Amino acid sequence: MTVRNAHAMAYDSDRAKVMLFGGADERRVLGDLWEWDGKVWRKMSASGPAPRTFPAMAYDRDRKRLVLFGGNRVLFGTENDKDTFLADMWEWDGARWHEIKTMTPPARAEACMVYDNARRRLVLFGGHSVVAGKRTRFGDTWEWDGRIWLQVSTSGPSPRNGATMTYDPIRRRVLLFGGNGPSGETWTWDGKSWREVKPAVTPGRFNSVMAYDEARQQVLRFGGWNGKTRIDDTWSFDGTAWQQLNVAGPEARNHSALVYEAKRRRLVLFGGHDGERVFGDTWEWDGSKWLRVAFCAPRQRVDNGH
């Protein structure tokens, strides 16, 4: 495994593997697929989606497919890069990629996508692109039921990119936090409407990472950008309030990825950057502490202003 940031991860619950796709190392955009079995990363030898950063990716438990949508052909772009944002859709069946030729949401990167276990569909929110020559953020909500994409809401959280989402199976809600600003808002989606939750402590974060810890029945969130610097804090959410945990862990970063690995009852975090270096380390959260379980030395990052 190489250092990278702006990649996507999801947990394949049928094969008990953490799957990672794309992103960028210190200077190149990547299009490779890897799996983590709790001991080693293994590169999958399969052709498929073009290299990209910030794709949306989630595992469809009902159809037993890894689903990837959109992203950006470059690490970051300008208003002149109108052709770099993607709207293609792919599925991985455990052996090969299949492009799904269907009507999709408009091209975008830095959108959020999770699988709603109760309603058996993928939920996608937000992101950004270039529309009519201008950088545009989205505030739309889409669902994929395995056959068609359906736009289900345009109200709720304000248009944003760089938010993070997870699914809470106890409360049967999609949970969204943060985004550009940076925002400290927390929202839930029940399949019909968005509702803002207003915890007492809500520090704003952009490009933090979040996942639901099924073993301990709580949401965990790490890192991100607070508007001034990258952060290395860890927070838990019980459905009502955010609580900062007094634990040491990964170095401050954003643009990493975090998923729950059910077989080993661990959260797995990989990569990211701190503004100067791109990371290639793998960390696990066991419910009380972070442990670095694999390491690739960070590399100096080519400056691009982000």
Structure confidence by residue, pLDDT tens digits, 279-299: 999 999 999 999 999 888 778
Task: Let me know the angle formed at the C-alpha of 174 by 156 and 216, rounded to the nearest 5 degrees.
Answer: 145
Two tokens, residue 51: 């290299």
Q: Is 140 helix (H, G, I), strand (E, B) or coil?
A: coil
pLDDT for 259 = 98
Burial class, 82, CB count within 10 angstroms (exposed 0-12 / middle 13-18 / buried 19+): middle
pLDDT for 303 = 59
More confident of the two residues 155 and 8 = 8
Q: String of b and e for 7-24 (b: at least 16 CB within 10 Å)?
A: bbbbbbeeeebbbbbbbb
Is it the case that residue 225 has pLDDT exceeding 70?
Answer: yes
What CATH architecture does domain 8-300 belong to? 6 Propeller (2.120)
Which residues is 236 bridged to in the sheet? 220, 243
Q: What is the mean pLDDT of the segment spanning 67-95?
A: 85
pLDDT for 47 = 87
Is it the case that residue 140 has pLDDT exceeding 80?
Answer: yes
More confident of the two residues 90 and 133 = 90
Q: 119: Cβ–Cβ under 8 A, 6 or more apart, which residues?
A: 143, 191
Name the residue ranges covered by the structural domains of the chain.
Answer: 8-300
Task: State the Cα–Cα distance between residues 250 and 301, nearest whole angstrom.
Answer: 18
More confident of the two residues 304 and 19 = 19
18 phi, psi to nearest 5 deg: -85, 125
Please provide the average confidence, as pLDDT, over all residues in the chain. 93
Quick one: which of 279, 162, 262, 261 has its CA closest to 209? 162
Name the band, by pLDDT with cuts 50, 70 and 90, for residue 14: very high
Q: What is the mean pLDDT of the segment spanning 67-89?
A: 83
Amino acid at 208: S
Contact assessment for residue 173 and residue 190, using Cβ atoms and an 8 Å cutoff: yes
Q: What is the mean pLDDT of the segment spanning 147-170?
A: 95
pTM of the model: 0.94
Quick one: which of 116, 35, 41, 113 has its CA closest to 71? 113
**Residue 302 belongs to what H/E stretch?**
none
